[in-house]
Amino acid sequence: MRRIMVWGLVSLLILSSALALEAAAMQGVGRGMPGDSLSLLEARTSAVAARLRCPVCQGLSIEDSPTELALEMRAVIRDQLAEGRTAEEVEEYFVSKYGEWVLLEPKPEGFNLAVYALPIVALVFGGSVVGLAVRRWTRQGGERYKDVGV
């Protein structure tokens, strides 16, 4: 029993150390190294590009699109982030150029709320219809068997 507890504590220590190292890497600890700031900029560029729609492909994000326009848009994102703009400011820049359509995930305000609310409403409505149908079928089935004497 004692051996199991010791191995459990050792495993917990190793796991927590690994998680702490991963969290430190995600926060950019050690940015003094030459490649770290560049990789952080690339990570931020990829994150913003993943939220914007490619105007040519329309079904893909700028991050996933192989088109020349998508590559140019990624370069604009990288330049703006390198200048110190936030991800939100970069997104607003593209919204001003292409309209809100360029966002892969519309902002939940105004008419766009329908994108978020309609699936929930449809699920509740569908569940109600199925529930009522099952209830009706079970009542009809029970009445049929009463006549037979089962």
Which tens digit of pLDDT belongs to each residue from 102-139? Answer: 888 877 777 777 777 888 989 999 999 999 989 888 88
The answer, yes or no, to whether residue 38 has pLDDT greater than 90, is no
Kindly write down the DSSP assignment for every residue of the chain, as one continuous string. -HHHHHHHHHHHHHHHHHHHHHHHHHTTTTTTSHHHHHHHHHHHHHHHHTTBB-TTTSSSBTTT--SHHHHHHHHHHHHHHHTT--HHHHHHHHHHHH-GGGBSS--SSGGGHHHHHHHHHHHHHHHHHHHHHHHHHHHHHHHHHHHHT-
pTM of the entire predicted model: 0.54
Q: Classify domain 33-105 at the CATH topology level.
A: Helicase, Ruva Protein; domain 3 (1.10.8)
Tens of pLDDT, residue by residue over 62-78, are 999 999 999 999 999 99
What pLDDT was estimated at residue 39? 87
